[in-house]
Amino acid sequence: MKRTSCRRRLAIASVLVVTLAACGGGSGGLEVTEAWARTSPAMAEAGAAYMQITNGGGADDALVGVSVDPAVARSAEIHETVMAEADDEATHGSDMGGGMMEMRAVDRLEIPAGETVSLEPGGYHIMLLDLASPLEEGSTVELTLTFENAGELVVTAEVRATGP
């Protein structure tokens, strides 16, 4: 057997898996699309992932937890980006141009019935803490999302420099 054809078949198979995961398996009417994680600078200790979560079901749901393979990062948290409050110590922040933006962990993110909630730069995101190694473009990160009603949903985020 020729090695090249074998390898190509493998590559096609993995692309299919990623596509299926990125399009989101339905889980209680929930669908996750456009999952991606931003490439991280070489020395960065944290990374961020973004996605669209659509609740096509008839009942409200909520994202209540997220986990990541320890080979990728020590832990993952649901974060929101907010304008800094001077007396708030439970946050970590970075100066993004003009105002001081800070991020803080949230316990739950409501996903109302019939609505799409965006996790995007400057808003809600999945924070990957203590990265094992830099997130490199072209690789993927598997995240397990836990919803209050729908249960667990595994999504594969594509690592890219900018959003889809």
Question: What is the binding site for Cu ion (CB under 5 A)?
Answer: 79, 103, 127
Place of tokens 């209050």: 148
* Smaller CB separation from Cu ion, 47 or 57: 47
Least Å distance between CB 96 and Cu ion? Answer: 12
* Smaller CB separation from Cu ion, 45 or 115: 45
**Which run of H or E residues covers position 23?**
helix 3-23
Which residues, listed in sequence order, are joined to residue 159 by a DSSP beta bridge? 37
Is the separation of the CB atoms in 93 and 100 below 8 Å?
Answer: yes
Non-local (6+) Cβ contacts of 16 within 8 A are none
Least Å distance between CB 22 and Cu ion? Answer: 22
- Separation CA 60–CA 33 (nearest Å): 18
Least Å distance between CB 126 and Cu ion? Answer: 8
* Smaller CB separation from Cu ion, 125 or 155: 125
Is the separation of the CB atoms in 17 and 10 below 8 Å?
Answer: no
* Smaller CB separation from Cu ion, 26 or 121: 121
Least Å distance between CB 157 and Cu ion? Answer: 15
